[in-house]
Structure 1
């Protein structure tokens, strides 16, 4: 990978945040973050996958061992699956952003030619036709 590839990849701006800007008050910021949780990309799907897998492993372990052990396995599975799927989703989004940036950079630049003379003649002919 050349240095120009790494510079163009690092120059990709992050997507705009849909979360409200921080106010400086910790409690207000935490409350706003919790109420706007669904605006975080990949968070919902990652947590739902973690909940489902944690519940499944918890039930399976609950059949063969005590409730405390099953709860520990369920929580560990939830955390691992949620973090793993969130990381993978964020990586896929970053890779997709890189591909889109490369496609946009490889497209030929369109040059809009100003046709002032033809616009003036069109306006004059339209004005004379109206008279």
Structure 2
């Protein structure tokens, strides 16, 4: 006789069934329309807000400091360059951090199934004292 299926606990047994995170509005295939929709929904993109704000703060600071000793065009160039470098770097760091967290979550979900099976086996063994 076959053993009945164990009751489901709401846990995901297969990590590949976990849906990917939402990364902004869905694509329509039109590059121009997608670009405008992404710009409007920039707050939905993970890490975008914090990265852009970090870049803006760094750009303003470097632009101000450079503006004390150079003309405004040079200071503006430094500010824009700093904004771009800091924004891209902080966005990449944040995305890597999210990817590591997702991998740890997948590993934990995968290991929970093993731990539950081991616990069930321990419960089945008769305890002798």
Give the TM-score taking structure 1 as reference length: 0.68
Give the aligned CA root-mean-square deviation in angstroms.
Answer: 2.2
In structure 1, how many angstroms separate the alpha carbons of the residues matched to 2:54 and 2:42?
16
Q: Computing the radius of gyration over CA atoms, which structure comes out larger, 1 or 2?
A: 1
In structure 1, how many angstroms separate the alpha carbons of the residues matched to 2:43 and 2:52?
11
Change (3 A) 1:83 1:18: closer
Q: Which residue of 2 aligns with 1:105?
A: 110
Give unpaired runs (5+ residues) of structure 1.
Answer: 1-10, 112-131
Q: Which residue of 2 aligns with 1:42?
A: 47
Change (3 A) 1:57 1:13: farther
CA contact 2:27–2:34 (8 Å) conserved in 1: yes
Runs (4+) of structure 1 moved beyond 4 Å? 11-14
Equivalent residue for 2:94, pick from 89, 96, 99: 89
1:59 and 2:58 equivalent? no
In structure 2, how many angstroms separate the alpha carbons of the residues matched to 1:66 and 1:14?
51
1:27 and 2:29 equivalent? no
C-alpha deviation, 1:84, in angstroms: 0.3
Q: How many residues are matched?
A: 101
Change (3 A) 1:12 1:62: farther
In structure 1, how many angstroms separate the alpha carbons of the residues matched to 2:20 and 2:97?
14
Select the structure that is richer in helix. Answer: 1
**Larger RCO, structures 1/2 (Cα 8 Å, 6+ apart):** 2
